[in-house]
Amino acid sequence: MKRAVSAVFWFCLTLALTFLGLLAITFFIGRIIPIDPVLAVVGDRASAQTYEAARVAMGLDRPLPVQFLSYVGDILTGNFGTSVSTGRPVLSDLGRVFPATLEMATLGIIIGVALGVPMGVIAASRQGSFVDQGIRVLGLLGYSVPAFWLGLVGLALFYAHLRWVGGPGRLDIFYDGLVPYVTGIMLIDSLLAGDFDVFRNAIWHLVLPASVLGFFSLAYIARMTRSFMLDQLSQEFVTTARVKGVPERVVIWRHAFYPIRIQLITVIALSYAGLLEGSVMIETVFSWPGIGNYLTSALLNADMNAVLGATLVIGAVFILINKISDVLYRVLDPRAR
């Protein structure tokens, strides 16, 4: 019991210190980038008196340590400031846009895991074959092809030419606003409302951007799975199993694949976090109303409250996913305890 309490304490302390470091990074980034938050509020034609009054009202006349403590206090109480672009609280905006990113990234990682893991296993089990070479080339493309280019090609081919998928946006205009906002995840909200027309339309629009994201995660997951499997297939216990006449399918999936599932947890977690934070270009290409699109618009409008709020949320999600993967690693691998 004491050991469990100690583990929970250190986990919470590590999480708190990491989050504090993230707060410090976002705060000082907001102070050193060449964007004046006061001008973003009052405009470049404001008088000196108006500028100075706004600067004092925003607390920018105080010493940096005092500003940082005030910033931490505001964040801990849920005060992310007000967005200059929308005129709404930043926290409210983030609660509206983040579920859209979460929905797309979750489907993307499902696609990446469902295809990437078997492809990596097959490539390793047939090392040097045409199948292995093809999977390696596919993985190389996943690392080399720009995301915006692949998204534009996908829209031109599958939407404009073949009409297999929906176009930019999350829903067709006809279906917009028909489903009550509950979770912000359109697939879930449409099912809760029992509106299967909206559900089908949401799937129609989601499948292409999620597949593009899934392709990049697939490339990383397949490559890492192949590497892990090659290492396991060269071990003596695998050779012994083959000598004993164990079927090759059992050797690959039970003897070789089973030990690498722990390593794959970290790979999948990092890939998922990467999709959540790296979907800016995909959301821009597909006009997806997620946090990446929101962050891009905030940068273009010099909306520092929105920029720092979105950066903080993305960083916090990255930290949380990594901590969850660490916990799962310890649960599945007794040696890590």
DSSP 3-state of 30 = helix
Choose between 263 and 111: higher pLDDT: 111
For the stretch 140-183, pLDDT in tens is 888 788 888 888 999 999 998 888 888 888 888 888 888 888 88
Backbone torsions φ then ψ of 258, nearest 5 degrees: -55, -45
Percent of the chain with pLDDT over 70: 96
Percent of the chain with pLDDT over 90: 21
Mean pLDDT of 196-214: 92
Instruction: Please report where in the chains the tokens 């893991």 appear, as a residue.
Output: 117
Residue partners of 93: CB distance under 8 A and separation at least 6: 83, 86, 294, 306, 309
Would you give the end-to-end CA distance of the chain in angstroms? 15
Mean pLDDT of 318-334: 77
Mean pLDDT of 27-47: 73
pLDDT value at residue 333: 65
Give yes or no for residue 336 having a pLDDT over 60.
no
For the stretch 71-88, pLDDT in tens is 888 888 888 888 877 888
Mean pLDDT of 268-295: 85
pLDDT value at residue 256: 86
Backbone torsions φ then ψ of 82, nearest 5 degrees: -110, 135
Write down the domain spans for the chain: 2-76, 90-336
pLDDT value at residue 174: 85
**Residue 102 token pair:** 């979460």
pLDDT value at residue 34: 67
Query: Right CATH number for 90-336 from 3.90.45.10, 3.40.50.970, 1.10.1030.10, 1.10.3720.10?
Result: 1.10.3720.10
Mean pLDDT of 111-135: 91
Q: Mean pLDDT across the chain, nearest whole number?
A: 84
For the stretch 58-73, pLDDT in tens is 777 788 788 888 888 8
CB atoms within 10 A of CB 183: 12
pLDDT value at residue 110: 94
pLDDT value at residue 123: 92
Mean pLDDT of 136-141: 86
For the stretch 113-123, pLDDT in tens is 999 999 999 99
